[in-house]
Amino acid sequence: MTDPVLVDRRDGYHVITLNRPERLNAFNADMLAGIAAAMVQCRDDDSCRAIVVTGAGRGFCAGQDLTARELDDAGGRPDLGASLETTYNPLILMMRDMAKPIIASVNGIAAGAGANFALAADFVIAGRSASFLQAFARIGLIPDAGGTWWLTRHLGEARAKALAMLAEPLPAATAESWGLIHRVVDDADLEGETARLAERLAASSAMALALTKRAIHEASRNALETQVRVERDLQREAGFGPDFVEGVSAFLAKRPADFRRT
């Protein structure tokens, strides 16, 4: 049987490829477990300083595999709340809490939980032919895997409601112009631009990126008074870290900083 998740260990970062192209990389239980395991591997490996997730074939991910959601012979229904609680929610929260930056390299349609899995990444870079589809309403569901949260935060209620309730695909270029994703590039450039971004992040101060990610996430729920105290505490931690010594020494010596040795 083909592995539903492939992991390519590159210099400084890992590429996790969703690998069920014949189903547009729809999530099944094995794939969800494989993604979580690959994320944990990178989290625990000091040589892995960034993570890329992408899809094999013409799509990024078509969300939950609906062939696993047919009624059973007795008409029994799956408990979708339990499915979210045990698989999707822990995965999305692990991505949010991951100290290392995550890039979603969206190579085609990202639908349902596949779209929201991409939006859980820190950087979403998409090929021009890609699109984001909150497909849920088409099958009588609500956006999950963080969808209602990302859409409302990034776009505001009007656009969030339109995307969720009309369930029309949002082209990558519009997603970029609306501020939902980081960047759209020509399809032919997606792999190269993703690698360039991953290499750049891998060469950056791991501590600065981890603390920045934390600060920005905390900012979304804090008043300014609280957030400046968060910044004080995290900056104190950064200032006592080795990357600050390296960064300042490199600046003063007029040489590039080498954070991978600190």
Residues that bind ligand T3D (CB under 6 A): 23-24, 26, 62-67, 69, 80, 83-84, 109, 111-113, 133, 135-136, 139, 141, 144
User: Residue 166 CB, nearest distance to ligand T3D (Å)?
Assistant: 14
Smallest distance from ligand T3D to CB 140, Å: 10
CB-facing half-sphere around the CA of 258: CA atoms within 13 A? 4
Grouping H, G, I as helix, E, B as strand and the rest as coil, residue 182 is coil
**Number of CB atoms found within 10 A of residue 91's CB:** 20
Residues 6+ apart with CB under 8 A from 47: 12
Q: Which is nearer to ligand T3D, 81 or 242 (CB)?
A: 81
Contact assessment for residue 56 and residue 6, using Cβ atoms and an 8 Å cutoff: yes
Give the residue with the Cβ less far from ligand T3D, 151 or 209: 151
Q: How far is the CB of 75 from ligand T3D (least distance, A)?
A: 17
Which is closer to ligand T3D, CB of 113 or CB of 234?
Answer: 113
Helices and strands counted in the chain (H then E): 11, 9
- Beta carbon of residue 113, minimum distance to ligand T3D (angstroms, whole number): 3
Shortest Å distance, C-beta 35 to ligand T3D: 14
Q: Which residue is listed with tokens 């008043």?
A: 223
**CB crowding 11-36: b at 16 or more within 10 Å, else e:** ebbbbbbbbbeebbbbbeeebbebbb
Which helix (H) or strand (E) segment holds residue 114: the answer is: helix 113-119
Residue with smaller CB distance to ligand T3D, 9 or 69: 69
Between 104 and 109, name the residue whose CB sits nearer to ligand T3D. Answer: 109
Minimal distance, residue 173 CB to ligand T3D, in Å? 18
Please, where are the H alpha helices in 9-79? 29-43
> 5-10 and 13-18 as β-strands: parallel, antiparallel, unpaired?
antiparallel
Closer to ligand T3D by CB, 101 or 114: give it.
114
